[in-house]
Amino acid sequence: MAIDLDKIRAMHEKLSNPASGGSSDFSNNFVQLQEGTTVLRILPPKEDDLDFYAMTKIHRVPTSDGNVKNIHCRQVHGEQCPICNLYYSLWKEPTKDENLARQIKGRDRYYMNVVERETGDVKILSVGIILFKKIIAAMCDPDYGDITDLKDGHDFKIIKVMEGQWPKYDQSAPRPKPSEAGSGQETAAWMESLHDIYSLVKLEDYEELKQVAESINPFSAVERSANDNHQTSNDASDDDYMKRLQS
């Protein structure tokens, strides 16, 4: 009798991803950028003194089971960050581990509330620096101005092209013509259902990050097995949704 390997693999995926069931609703809150064109309208903040985006930095840290854990950099909050410290120390080592350094380097992430035109839903758009620069450049260009303006802003087209395994977004741009975001009723409903993007920028626990940094530091004198005991899975749901933000 042969074992159904596909079934086993599916089970393995499920088991190694314990939060996948519980957080699937949450990940639905995010725009999933598919290859091709995604049209959306970036929404203004609820109040004038808030930014229309929330910024964080993400460290992608390898785990002992071969996966990657996404960790918010504490420096975003002006706090000491053990992963950043490890990153800098890796470059200083005479036999430096450049691959690990490159992998764990903190990378900018930006969250915005948007209306996904295809579904009409208010979702969270999570982008890296390249797309965010395009959005900011458009806002500073007098031909566009504040593209989030509900009356005469601009929809934004994200064009995702795969080059090998890496997505490219070079052709992304605002629609040239300004437009109303929606009817008065629609925009009122959207502005009532904005997601709390600011709370996504999590302040990670210092001690926890210190242990993570020690566990992956190839020059650490501490036994790896000793650290494994400290690694908890109570961040699993956060881990899971962040994994989905990588596109």
* Secondary structure letter of residue 43 according to DSSP: P
Closest CA to 62 of 217, 167, 208: 217
Closest CA to 41 of 116, 95, 96, 94: 116
Name the one range near Zn ion by CB under 5 A: 26-34, 46-54, 106-114, 139-147: 106-114
Tell me, residue by residue from 80 to 99, as one string, x for binding to Zn ion by CB under 5 A and - for no binding: -x-xx---------------
Closest CA to 190 of 54, 48, 45: 45
Shortest spacing between CB 79 and Zn ion, in angstroms: 9
Place of tokens 């764990």: 104
Shortest spacing between CB 104 and Zn ion, in angstroms: 9
106 near Zn ion, rule: CB under 5 A: yes
Name the one range near Zn ion by CB under 5 A: 31-39, 67-75, 144-152, 199-207: 67-75
> Max CA-CA distance within the chain?
70
* Distance (Å, whole) CA 74 – CA 47: 26
Tell me, residue by residue from 141 to 170, as one string, x for binding to Zn ion by CB under 5 A and - for no binding: ------------------------------
Shortest spacing between CB 199 and Zn ion, in angstroms: 19
Shortest spacing between CB 58 and Zn ion, in angstroms: 9
* Distance (Å, whole) CA 174 – CA 171: 10
Per the CB < 8 A criterion, the answer to whether 72 and 201 are in contact is: yes
Cβ-based nearer residue to Zn ion, 17 or 103: 103
Q: How many CA atoms lie within 13 A of 163 on its CB side?
A: 4
Shortest spacing between CB 217 and Zn ion, in angstroms: 14
**Among residues 40, 42, 54, 73, the one that binds Zn ion under rule CB under 5 A:** 73
Cβ-based nearer residue to Zn ion, 81 or 114: 81
Contact positions vs Zn ion (CB under 5 A) = 73, 75, 81, 83-84, 106
